């Protein structure tokens, strides 16, 4: 028999909250973590706002040794280690102190780009002939698997320790990869998640594509508008989310807190065919991903009560709602409740899926569905398809039993996971 897989720990380092208590309060109350950054103005960005975790007040010595902090200049590493170690502690686990690693525990922690500021620093040192000044950590800070390597060594994990990278789908894909590993009895527990660097060298390419909002520099909290008729582009964000996945048997044996159960999911690609491209999804592939996730979970489309969508506040939001409606065979008042957290903190790129999975699961714990912000004017194409009462503007009391969460990324790649409340 396959293992059942549950979530026993979570951590988050998000623009609207570092740590679960601050994060859930922001989601409940509709607090935004999007701010104006003068650095972007000085660099002549059209979009001068972003979502960035404020770690200045964090005690980094709780997460890193002084040796590890020396020369550390990779924001994604900071975010990922904070979220990852917090999730591990939240699960009631500790780092290995013996010579032997924990052979039953592994890590799959993804990223899109890591250590871009460190890489820029290294380029200047090399160009100026100062190779010896690069420091001994320049490689680990700039290699994609640097984040999983940092966490693997800090926690002493001896199972698979690796990194995935699949654009905006990265975090949700990492979760499903860890889920499969435990389900197939190749590991007892997996720390999964993703992180994304912050700053102009990450966000500049999107600004050049003219897909970021340009008219909200004086009103940053109103800029990210998922499902809204007045949405004009996504706000770039950064951060990290982390989840400890564990076999149900192990969780029960040690009396762990259980946030929810993963009952299935699916990952696919539209092949950049049938209307899909490097930046746009193939609708048939999106619908197939959702449909196959439901089949894998052994449930019916009618069982899904809440959707936490990808919904980036772009012109593709109506297409996404259409795809959900087609895949579920549901519309009007029969459509599930749907929300997007990108109104709260923007689009955190490779970190988006993991941060949003943490938020989605917290709805089980709180017996609530968190509201959408900046969605007073629902897009008319969405309004035609579903009853707008299914888009809660404020947090509502409702105890969902089944939540579907999906992420769609550049390269025409898709991931959908189905969460179930555990009792």
Place of tokens 């200049």: 73
pTM, 2 dp: 0.97
Across 232-252, average pLDDT: 98
Which SS3 state, helix, strand or coil, does residue 241 take? strand
Q: What are phi and psi of 83, to 5 degrees?
A: -65, -45
Give pLDDT, residue 366.
98
Residue 9 CA neighbour count, 13 Å, CB half: 26
Residue 241 CA neighbour count, 13 Å, CB half: 31
Give pLDDT, residue 26.
98
Give pLDDT, residue 349.
98
- Spell out the alpha helix ranges (H) of 2-105: 20-29, 38-42, 66-69, 75-90
The Cα–Cα gap between 39 and 36 comes to 9
Q: What are phi and psi of 9, to 5 degrees?
A: -155, 145
Across 23-27, average pLDDT: 98
CATH architecture assigned to 5-260: 3-Layer(aba) Sandwich (3.40)
* Angle made by CA atoms 212, 216, 220, in degrees to the nearest 5: 100
Inter-axis angle of helices 146-155 and 75-90, nearest 10: 40
The Cα–Cα gap between 3 and 251 comes to 11
Give pLDDT, residue 133.
75
Neighbours of 332 (CB within 10 A): 11
DSSP state of 3: P
What residues contact residue 372 under an 8 Å CB cut-off, 6+ apart? 226, 227, 339, 340, 343, 391, 392, 393
pLDDT (tens digit per residue) in 101-135: 999 999 999 999 999 998 888 887 887 888 877 77
Across 236-262, average pLDDT: 98
What residues contact residue 266 under an 8 Å CB cut-off, 6+ apart? 176, 288, 289, 290, 292, 293, 296, 414, 415, 416
pLDDT (tens digit per residue) in 179-190: 999 999 999 999
Comparison of pLDDT for 154 and 57, the residue scoring more: 154
Q: What percent of the chain has pLDDT over 90?
A: 91
Q: What are phi and psi of 415, to 5 degrees?
A: -150, 140
Across 53-63, average pLDDT: 89
Tokens at residue 153, please?
A: 């060594």
Give pLDDT, residue 126.
85
Give pLDDT, residue 136.
76
Give yes or no for residue 57 having a pLDDT over 80: no
Pick the CATH number of 265-420 from 3.40.718.10, 1.20.120.450, 3.30.565.10, 3.40.47.10: 3.40.47.10
Please state the domain extents for the chain.
5-260, 265-420
Give yes or no for residue 33 having a pLDDT over 80: yes
Q: What are phi and psi of 29, to 5 degrees?
A: -90, 0
Give pLDDT, residue 302.
98
The Cα–Cα gap between 63 and 42 comes to 33
**Identical fold, 5-260 and 265-420:** yes
Instruction: Tell me the β-bridge partners of 187.
Output: none
Which SS3 state, helix, strand or coil, does residue 12 take? strand
Decide if 313 contacts 349 (C-beta within 8 A): no
Decide if 368 contacts 400 (C-beta within 8 A): no
Give pLDDT, residue 129.
86
Give pLDDT, residue 24.
98
Give yes or no for residue 319 having a pLDDT over 80: yes
pLDDT (tens digit per residue) in 145-172: 999 999 999 999 999 999 999 999 999 9
Comparison of pLDDT for 136 and 364, the residue scoring more: 364
pLDDT (tens digit per residue) in 201-223: 999 999 999 999 999 999 999 99
Tokens at residue 222, please?
A: 């109103």
DSSP states of 321-389: HHHHHHHHT--BTTSPEEE-THHHH-B-GGGHHHHHHHHHHHHHHHTEEPPPSS-SSB-HHHHHHB-GG
Give yes or no for residue 1 having a pLDDT over 90: no
């Amino acid at each position: 028999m396959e293992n059942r897989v549950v979530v026993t720990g979570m951590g988050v380092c998000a623009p609207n909250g570092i740590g679960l208590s601050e994060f859930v309060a922001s989601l409940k109350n509709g607090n935004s973590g999007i701010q104006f950054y003068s650095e972007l103005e000085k660099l002549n960005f059209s979009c001068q706002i972003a979502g960035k975790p404020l770690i200045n007040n964090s005690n980094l010595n709780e997460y890193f040794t002084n040796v590890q902090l020396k020369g550390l200049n990779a924001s994604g590493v900071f975010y990922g280690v904070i979220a990852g170690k917090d999730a591990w502690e939240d699960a009631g686990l500790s780092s290995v102190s013996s010579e032997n690693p924990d052979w039953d525990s592994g890590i799959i922690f993804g990223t899109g780009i890591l250590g871009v500021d460190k890489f820029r620093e290294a380029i200047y040192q090399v160009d100026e002939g100062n190779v010896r000044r690069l420091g001994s950590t320049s490689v680990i800070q700039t290699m994609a698997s640097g984040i999983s390597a940092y966490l693997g060594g800090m926690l002493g994990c001896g199972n698979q320790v690796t990194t995935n990278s699949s654009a905006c789908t990265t975090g949700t894909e990492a979760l499903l990869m860890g889920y499969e590993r435990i389900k197939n009895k190749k590991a007892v527990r997996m720390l999964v998640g993703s992180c994304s660097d912050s700053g102009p060298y990450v966000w500049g390419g999107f600004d050049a594509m003219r897909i970021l909002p340009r008219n909200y520099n004086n009103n940053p909290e109103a800029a990210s508008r998922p499902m809204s008729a007045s949405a004009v582009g996504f706000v770039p964000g950064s951060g990290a989310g982390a989840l400890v996945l564990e076999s149900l048997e192990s969780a029960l044996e040690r009396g762990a807190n259980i946030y929810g159960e993963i009952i299935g999911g699916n990952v696919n690609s539209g092949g950049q065919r049938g209307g899909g491209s490097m930046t746009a999804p193939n609708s048939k592939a999106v619908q197939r991903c959702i449909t196959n996730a439901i089949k894998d979970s052994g449930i019916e489309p009618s069982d899904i009560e809440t959707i936490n969508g990808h919904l980036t506040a772009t012109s593709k939001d109506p297409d996404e709602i259409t795809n959900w409606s087609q895949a579920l065979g549901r519309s009007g008042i029969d459509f599930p409740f749907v929300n997007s957290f990108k109104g709260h903190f923007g689009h955190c790129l490779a970190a988006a899926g993991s941060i949003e999975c943490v938020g989605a699961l917290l709805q089980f714990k709180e017996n609530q569905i968190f509201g959408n912000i900046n969605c007073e004017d629902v897009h008319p194409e969405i309004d035609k398809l579903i009853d707008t009462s299914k888009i809660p503007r404020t947090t509502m009391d409702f105890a969902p039993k089944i939540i579907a969460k999906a992420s769609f990324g550049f390269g025409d790649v898709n991931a959908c996971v189905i969460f179930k409340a555990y009792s």
